């Protein structure tokens, strides 16, 4: 290629210094021939002044100056970045060495796309599972029907010009939950997502996840999506999926009335939606919610 665009990797972090260093090493270990720098954004904690001395001038640490949380921290990094492309990586995840090169090559074939993703390997308590999309292009309709959880934000490579031109992450999103789906939906409105269907990022689930058992945040975020994206109502399957998830989350949270309401809504949208029926035994025994999520996570999947 005549030109390899410059890339800034934005890494929000909060109280995970050892995992953060592993993530940085995986970024600096890329075989990418273009310029690559790392911007660590400390959220609700002091800046780690040792990072620069440890990793050199390619790594810079700053404080989150926007809304506390993942979306505000990422936006702080995006606005402070210098790269033509912005790459996301959570502080407990890592990249394989060819990740950036393969994505930039893919974007060259899709100049209209503003976002590129890759498949992933999920590691849950020592059990690894590959999650593939089975395609190399993701449409807006695909994302209305399914969350497509194999498209994790730690794989995202986004054109900076598009983001700073009015497409920063939504800091009103409850708990920053589902921020990756939100940016995918917005990006795919403009053009399909360019996807590399190889597991080039390693995602860690389990005890390191801040959302591992936060049922109320999950339910509130899903409700936000249903209100914020009117086009979701055009997909009965997509609407039922969110409603069924809410039924499960409410049941796991011990809120029987809300769970029954969401089960009824799900059945009206799509009677065969399995998440609504999965919520029924959890409604009887809320502790089953943790067991169900654990079983799904061991397969690299969520509810």
How high is the pLDDT of residue 234? 84
Q: What is the pLDDT of residues 135-149, one digit of tens each?
A: 999 999 999 999 999
Backbone angles phi, psi at 163, to 5 degrees: -70, -45
Mean pLDDT for the chain overall:
93
Q: What pairing do the DSSP bridges indicate for beta strands 115-124 and 193-205?
A: parallel
What's the pTM value of the predicted model, to 2 decimals? 0.90
Please tell me the least confidently modeled range out of 96-100, 106-110, 218-222, 298-302: 298-302
How high is the pLDDT of residue 296? 82
The whole-number average pLDDT for the span 81-96 is: 97
pLDDT classification of 183: cutoffs 50, 70, 90:
very high
Kindly tell me if the per-residue pLDDT of 207 is higher than 70.
no
SS (H, E, C) the chain: CCCCCCEEEEEEECCCHHHHHHHHHHHHCCCCCCCEEEEEEECCCCCCCHHHHHHCCCEEEEECCCCCCHHHHHHHHHHHCCCCEEEECCCCCEECCCHHHHHHHHHHCCCCCCEEEEEEEEEECCEEEEECCCCCEECHHHHHHCCCCCCCHHHCEEEHHHHHCCCCCCCCCHHHCCHHHHHHHHHHHHCCEEEEEEEEEEEEECCCCCCCCCHHHHHHHHHHHHHHCHHHHHCHHHHHHHHHHHHHHHHHCCCHHHHHHHHHHHHHHCCCCHHHHHHHHHHHCCCHHHHHHHHHHCCCCCC
Task: List all residues 6 or more positions away from 251 whose beta carbon is below 8 Å from its beta carbon.
Answer: 259, 279, 280, 282, 283, 286, 289
How high is the pLDDT of residue 214? 86
Kindly tell me if the per-residue pLDDT of 198 is higher than 70.
yes
CA atoms within 13 A on the CB side of 14: 13
Kindly tell me if the per-residue pLDDT of 179 is higher than 90.
yes
Distances (CA, A) of 57 to 31, 51, 270: 18, 9, 54
Kindly tell me if the per-residue pLDDT of 206 is higher than 80.
no
Phi-psi domain of 133 (left: phi exceeds 0; alpha: psi -120 through 50; beta: other)? alpha
The whole-number average pLDDT for the span 2-22 is: 94
pLDDT classification of 210: cutoffs 50, 70, 90:
very low
Q: To the nearest whole percent, how much of the chain has pLDDT over 70?
A: 97
Kindly tell me if the per-residue pLDDT of 208 is higher than 60.
no
Kindly tell me if the per-residue pLDDT of 238 is higher than 80.
yes
Kindly tell me if the per-residue pLDDT of 269 is higher than 60.
yes
The whole-number average pLDDT for the span 180-207 is: 94
Give the pair of three-digit tokens for residue 48.
């780690």
Q: To the nearest whole percent, how much of the chain has pLDDT over 90?
A: 82
pLDDT classification of 294: cutoffs 50, 70, 90:
confident
How high is the pLDDT of residue 1? 47
């Amino acid at each position: 290629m005549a030109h390899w665009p410059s890339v800034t990797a934005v890494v929000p972090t909060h109280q995970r210094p050892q995992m953060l260093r592993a993530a940085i090493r995986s970024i600096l270990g890329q075989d990418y021939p273009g310029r690559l720098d790392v911007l660590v954004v400390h959220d609700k904690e002091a800046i780690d002044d040792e990072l620069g001395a440890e990793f050199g001038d390619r790594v810079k640490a700053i404080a989150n100056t926007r809304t506390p949380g993942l979306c505000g921290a990422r936006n702080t990094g995006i606005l402070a970045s210098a790269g033509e492309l912005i790459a996301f990586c959570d502080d407990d995840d890592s990249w394989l060495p060819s990740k950036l090169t393969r994505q930039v090559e893919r974007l060259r074939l899709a100049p209209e796309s503003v976002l590129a993703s890759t498949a992933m390997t999920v590691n849950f308590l020592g059990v690894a599972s590959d999650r593939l999309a089975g395609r190399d292009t993701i449409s807006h309709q695909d994302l209305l029907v399914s969350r497509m959880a194999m498209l994790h934000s730690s794989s995202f490579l986004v054109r900076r010009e598009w983001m700073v031109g009015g497409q920063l992450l939504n800091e009103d999103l409850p708990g920053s939950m589902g921020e990756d789906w939100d940016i995918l939906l917005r990006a795919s409105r403009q053009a399909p997502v360019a996807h590399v269907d190889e597991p080039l990022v390693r995602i860690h689930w389990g005890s390191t996840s801040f959302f591992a058992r936060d049922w109320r945040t999950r339910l509130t975020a899903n409700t936000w999506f249903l209100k914020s994206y009117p086009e979701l109502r055009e997909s009965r399957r997509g609407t039922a999926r969110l409603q069924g998830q809410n039924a499960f989350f409410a049941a796991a949270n011990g809120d029987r009335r809300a769970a029954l309401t969401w089960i009824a809504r799900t059945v009206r949208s799509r009677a065969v939606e399995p998440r609504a029926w999965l919520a029924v035994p959890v409604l009887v025994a809320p502790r089953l919610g943790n067991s169900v999520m654990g079983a799904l996570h061991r397969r690299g999947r969520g509810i």
